Structure 1
Amino acid sequence: MHPDLSPEGAACLLFDWDGTLVDSQLANYRAMAATLAAEQIDLEQQWFDARTGLSSADLIKTLAAERFLRLTRPVSELVAECEAHYLRDAHTVRTHPPIQAVLERAAGSIPMAIASGSSRSMIDAVLCHQPFRDAFDLVVTRDDVERGKPAPDIFLTAAAKLGAAPADCLVYEDSDEGIAAADAAGMPVIDVRPYR
C-alpha cells in the first residue's frame, strides 16, 4: 500500500465508488453515450470525463443547459436507460489496485462504507463481482439522500449511520465534486487520482 494512502488514525473509511474503488469510467461513458445517442445527442468523452463527480441526472441536466437542448424524454427515463446499458457491462468493471490494497488492509479493523453518487443498483451489480464484496459495513448512494455531491449529504449520512464524527472519517475520492463534498462535511480526504 502506498504510504500516502494510509488510513492511519481514522475511525472509519468512506470510499467513493466510481473512479475511486472501481475503474468504471469507460463503462459509464458508453452507457451515457448510448442513451444520449437515442436523443440525437453526441456525447464527447472528454466532456464526460471532465464531469466525473456528477450524478447521471446532473450530468444530463448540465449538458442540456450548456447546449440549450430540448430532451424528448424526462431525465429520470434517460437515467434509467443509462443504468440499463451500464448493468449489461457491470461484470467487466475492475478495481483500482492501490485503493483495493487500502481496503484489504483495513477490512475487519476499521468500519468502512461506500459513499457514492451512483445508484444502489449500479453499485450492487459491480460489487457482486468483486473480491471485497463483503468488506463494507454500509453502502450509501444517491438513492439515500436528497442532494448529491458536491453537497456533503452522502458523506454525512454514512458517518451518522456508522456512528462516527465527521472529523474522524477519512474519505477516498477521485473528483473535484467529491473532494468538495468531503470538505463541506468537515472530513479529511485523500485525492486518489495520483495513485491509480
Structure 2
Amino acid sequence: MAIELVVFDLAGTTVKDNQDVHRVLQLALAKHNVTISIEDANAVMGIPKPVAIRKLLEKQYIGTRAIDATWIDVIHHDFVEAMIHFYKTDAGVGEKEGVSDTFRRLRNSKLKVVVDTGFDRQIVDPLLERLGWKKADLIDASVTSDEVERGRPFPDMIFRAMELTGVKDVKCVAKVGDTSSDLQEGNSAGCPLVIGVTTGAFSKEELLKEKHTHLIDNIHEVVQIVSDFT
C-alpha cells in the first residue's frame, strides 16, 4: 500500500530551532519564579505546551502555590505571546535546509503534505505566514494540538490530518519528527513509516530508544524513503 500523506512536525524538524522554543518556555516560567534548565525544556518538546508546563511545574516548582489550571493558563498565555512575537520578528526564523524542495517533490508526486505541532493555532498561523508555505502551495493543511482532544503522543493530530486530506487508511501515512513524542504519535496511530530526524531537539541516541522505521539526518531523505515504500 503506497504512502498518500506525509505528516511533518514543525520546530526542529522543518523549522529552524536553535533551542528558541526552549528559551521562550524557560523565560515564561521564570516570570513566575520557576527555574528550569534547557535540558528540562527539551524533555517536554513536542507535547502540547499546557501539558509541558504542568510537567515542568510538578518537577521544578518548590513553593506552596497550587499547580492548577488557572496558573498553567497564565504561564501558557505568556509563552504563546512570546512565541508569536518571536516568529513574527526574529531574523533567525526560517525553514531548515531543503524543506521547501522536499515538500515540492512530494506534492509533485501527488502526495499530501501536512504539518502538525505541539503549538496552538495562535502561534502557528504567523509562523506559516512567515514561511510562505501556504502561499507557495507546498502544504495541504496544518494541525495544532489545541484543535484535537489529545495532543502527542496520542494519534489525534494524525487522524485529523487524514480527515483534512481525505486519506482513509493510516497505512498510507508517514510521520516525520524530531522528538520522542513525534515517534510515539506515529506509532500510536499505526503509521507504517515513522521517521525520526536526528538534527532537532532529540539526539540520535535518544530517538533510538523509540520504535521507528528510519532515522535521518536530512529532511530530503524522506522523498526516497516514501518512494521506496510499498
TM-score range (shorter-chain normalised) is 0.7 to 0.9
Who is 1:4 aligned against? none
Structure 2 residue corresponding to 1:180, chosen from 174, 181, 184: 184
Query: 1:1-196 alignment to 2 at 5 Å?
Result: 9-24=2-17, 26-69=19-62, 70=65, 71=67, 74-91=71-88, 92=90, 93-108=93-108, 109-134=110-135, 135-164=138-167, 165-187=169-191, 188-193=193-198, 194-196=216-218
Segments of 4+ moved more than 4 angstroms: none
| Stretch moving more, 19-28 or 175-184 | 19-28
CA positional deviation for 1:148: 0.8
Amino acid paired to 1:89: F
Could you say what secondary structure the match of 2:131 adopts? coil
| Stretch moving more, 156-165 or 71-80 | 71-80
Distance 1:114 1:38 in 2: 31
Compute the TM-score of the two structures, normalised by the length of structure 2.
0.75
Query: For 1:7-43, what per-residue CA distance to the aligned partner results, in whole angstroms no more than 9, with x for missing partners?
Result: xx42111111121111235321222122111111112
Is the alpha carbon distance of 1:25 and 1:147 closer, same or farther for their aligned partners in structure 2, counting shifts above 3 Å?
Answer: farther
* Higher RCO (CA < 8 A, seq sep 6+): 1
- Root-mean-square deviation (CA), in Å? 1.9
Distance 1:115 1:137 in 2: 11
Amino acid paired to 2:189: A
* Residue identity (%): 20
Matched residues, number: 188
Unpaired segments ≥5 residues, structure 1: 1-8
Amino acid paired to 2:35: D
Amino acid paired to 2:86: D
Unpaired segments ≥5 residues, structure 2: 199-215, 219-230
Is the alpha carbon distance of 1:125 and 1:36 closer, same or farther for their aligned partners in structure 2, counting shifts above 3 Å?
Answer: same
